[in-house]
Amino acid sequence: MEQVRQTRNVAVLIFEQVEPLDFAGPFEVFIAGSNSGQDFNVFTVAENDSPIKASGGLSINPAYTIANCPKPDILVVPGGWGSRKEMNNETITNWIRETSNDVEIILSVCTGALLLAKATLLDGLKVTTNRLAINELRDVVPTSTEILEEARYVDNGKIVLSAGVSAGMDAALYVVEKLLGEDTAIEAANIMEYDWKRD
């Protein structure tokens, strides 16, 4: 008899001036790879329950706050212009650090790496971010952190980081493959009619 697989909670962090595709791309990937919601329960989470205004003026209502969201198994930390402000928001970075203790995987997209750096999660890891933000990342990571400027995404085990914007979708598909197998990831890419660029 096939063992029933437990649904994993995928929390997608959003904040003011988040880059839309940084969070919506991985959100869509996990939905497409969820087997109609059986494998992944995907939701947004923000510091509070006020509508979030993403880059370009897109307004999003978070499903949960960091105080009441279901316990994440996977945490997606996107980037965008707002990450430069939120990296200094200790409420957010403390929550990321605390959440990191119990999650299976953290996926950073683009300048979400800045938040992970400020949450002191990148010590000794190999990391990447948006090509245009490499120097910003270099300024906030410890000397033990190795920045891979040309990597589309990089896997440290628990922490996976991707380069900018659409690279987050590639990394999310990689996470689906890592957890549920290549066939599921390929099927998810096909559902989205997306040309998956593997690293």
> What integer pLDDT is reported at residue 1 of this predicted model?
44
8-191: CATH homologous superfamily?
Class I glutamine amidotransferase (GATase) domain (3.40.50.880)
Closest residue by Cα to residue 34 from 69, 68, 8? 8
Q: Is the pLDDT of residue 3 over 90?
A: no
- As a whole number, mean pLDDT of residues 127-154 equals 95
Q: What is the pLDDT of residues 42-60, one digit of tens each?
A: 999 999 999 999 999 999 9
Q: Model confidence at 4, in pLDDT bands (50, 70, 90)?
A: low
> What integer pLDDT is reported at residue 147 of this predicted model?
97
> What integer pLDDT is reported at residue 56 of this predicted model?
96
Kindly report the average pLDDT of the chain as a whole number.
95
**Which residues neighbour 78 within 8 Å (Cβ) at sequence distance 6 or greater?**
12, 13, 14, 18, 19, 22, 23, 26, 109, 110, 112, 168
Q: Model confidence at 158, in pLDDT bands (50, 70, 90)?
A: very high
> What integer pLDDT is reported at residue 199 of this predicted model?
67
For residue 134, is it left (φ>0), alpha (ψ between -120 and 50) or beta? Answer: alpha
| Sign of the Cα pseudo-torsion (63, 65, 70, 72, in order) | positive
> What integer pLDDT is reported at residue 29 of this predicted model?
98
Q: What is the pLDDT of residues 57-90, one digit of tens each?
A: 999 999 999 999 999 999 999 999 999 999 999 9
- As a whole number, mean pLDDT of residues 8-35 equals 97
Structure token pair of residue 26: 């991985």
Which is more confidently placed, 1 or 27? Answer: 27
CB 34 within 8 A of CB 97: no
**Which residues neighbour 4 within 8 Å (Cβ) at sequence distance 6 or greater?**
none
75: phi then psi, degrees, rounded to nearest 5? -120, 125
